[in-house]
Amino acid sequence: MCKPSCCNNSDAGGAGLAAVVVLIVAVFLAVKVAPAIVEIGRVILDVIRIAAVSLASAVVLAAIAWLVVRLAQCVISKRRQLSKGTSAVRSPAFVPISEQTCLACGDKGRVVRVFGNGAVAARPCPECQPAQLAG
């Protein structure tokens, strides 16, 4: 004899069992895979942190190198400015004393006069340019 369709419960047990198996597999994967995912996340964050520290260090070292170069250029330019007028030997117009015609000005045509209060004035040489002094 045939059972009516309302009394046929043979498929209900299979669907419940499948749901329980899927739930157990999901929990198993969550327990086994979740720590690995967390560890991968930590490794990625460590790599990002190391890259950021390395980049910051490189930027700081580049800034320090730039400052050192700028300071060296400043010091060199100041030394050049100071050495331009102080040494007669380095002057391109240097003529040995034995070849100079005027020993008072060194054939420059002007002499420097220093006053008692420290004032300095350039004036025509009294030895080689007496006409300019008279005028």
pLDDT(28) > 50: yes
Proportion of the chain above pLDDT 90, given as a percent? 27
**What was the pLDDT predicted at 76?**
87
Measure the CA–CA gap between 109 and 133, rounded to whole angstroms.
11
The SS3 assignment for 105 reads coil
Amino acid at 111: V
Which residue ranges make up each domain of the chain? 15-87, 101-135
Lowest mean pLDDT among 25-34, 49-58, 78-87: 78-87
89 vs 43: which has the higher pLDDT: 43
Measure the CA–CA gap between 129 and 133, rounded to whole angstroms.
7
Are 106 and 87 in contact by the 8 Å Cβ rule? The answer is no
- Residues 6 or more apart whose CB falls under 8 angstroms from that of 110 comprise 122, 123, 124, 125
